[in-house]
């Protein structure tokens, strides 16, 4: 487990490769219902014009996005709202199924941690970096220890098919290369 502190800063109206990881790298996102919650949240925030999503993949213990945060969600950033909302939902489900102990932490401000605190954000400022990060995201489900599908286009919880077909099955994707 990597315990290095990243201290990633993200700013509005800039495009980032962004990674959020589940506490202790637990496989919370393995369940389709949890992946679908993330997708519905991305759709809502996109419909509300709070974010622009260019690419994504949801893995069993983390997610990668290429996105921009465009407007505040009340007093919160969209990434803060996304992580907070999904964490509350996940924790309620974990408590109901008796699995919340796995996410307990010793902290003065909380009893459980769903998402690791320090998400990674790397600004994408040119087409070459955009292509490299897009490839990384789309091949994540079929590379290394992950063998979640036979090829990148068969993994449902990814934007790979959008870039192959131009069809947005999720209703919130924008083409990254129309920006660069």
Each residue's pLDDT tens digit, 48-90: 999 999 999 999 999 999 999 999 999 999 999 999 999 999 9
In a domain, 8, yes or no: no
| Count of structural domains, the chain | 1
In a 10 Å sphere around its CB, with 0-12 CB exposed, 13-18 middle and 19+ buried, how is residue 89 labelled?
A: middle
Tens digits of residue pLDDT in 25-35:
999 999 999 99
In a domain, 124, yes or no: yes
Q: Which domain holds residue 173?
A: 16-178
Question: Is 3's pLDDT higher than 70?
Answer: no
Tens digits of residue pLDDT in 79-128:
999 999 999 999 999 999 999 999 999 999 999 999 998 788 999 999 99
In a domain, 102, yes or no: yes
In a domain, 5, yes or no: no
Alpha helices (runs of H) in the chain, residue ranges in sequence order: 32-47, 78-96, 127-139, 160-165
In a domain, 11, yes or no: no
Query: DSSP secondary-structure letter at 170?
Result: S
Q: How many Å apart are CA 119 and CA 163, to the nearest integer? A: 25
The whole-model pTM stands at: 0.93
In a domain, 31, yes or no: yes
In a domain, 120, yes or no: yes
Tell me the CATH number at 57: 3.30.70.1290
Q: How far is CA 131 from the centre of its chain?
A: 18
Q: Is 52 helix (H, G, I), strand (E, B) or coil?
A: strand
In a domain, 7, yes or no: no
């Amino acid at each position: 487990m990597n315990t290095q502190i990243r201290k990633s800063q993200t700013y509005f109206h800039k495009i980032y490769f962004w990674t959020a990881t589940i506490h202790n790298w637990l496989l919370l996102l393995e369940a389709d219902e949890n992946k679908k919650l993330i997708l519905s949240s991305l759709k809502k925030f996109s419909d509300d014009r709070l974010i622009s999503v260019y690419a994504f993949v949801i893995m069993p213990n983390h997610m990668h996005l290429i996105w921009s945060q465009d407007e505040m969600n009340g007093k919160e950033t969209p990434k803060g709202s996304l992580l907070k909302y999904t964490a509350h939902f996940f924790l309620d489900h974990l408590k109901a199924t008796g699995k919340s102990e796995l996410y307990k932490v010793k902290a003065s401000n909380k009893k459980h941690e769903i998402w690791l605190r320090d998400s990674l954000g790397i600004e994408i400022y040119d087409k070459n970096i955009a292509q490299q990060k897009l490839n990384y995201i789309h091949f994540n489900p079929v590379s290394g220890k992950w063998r979640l599908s036979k090829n990148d286009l068969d993994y449902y919880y990814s934007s790979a098919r959008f870039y192959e077909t131009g069809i947005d099955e999720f209703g919130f994707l924008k083409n990254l290369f129309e920006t660069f």
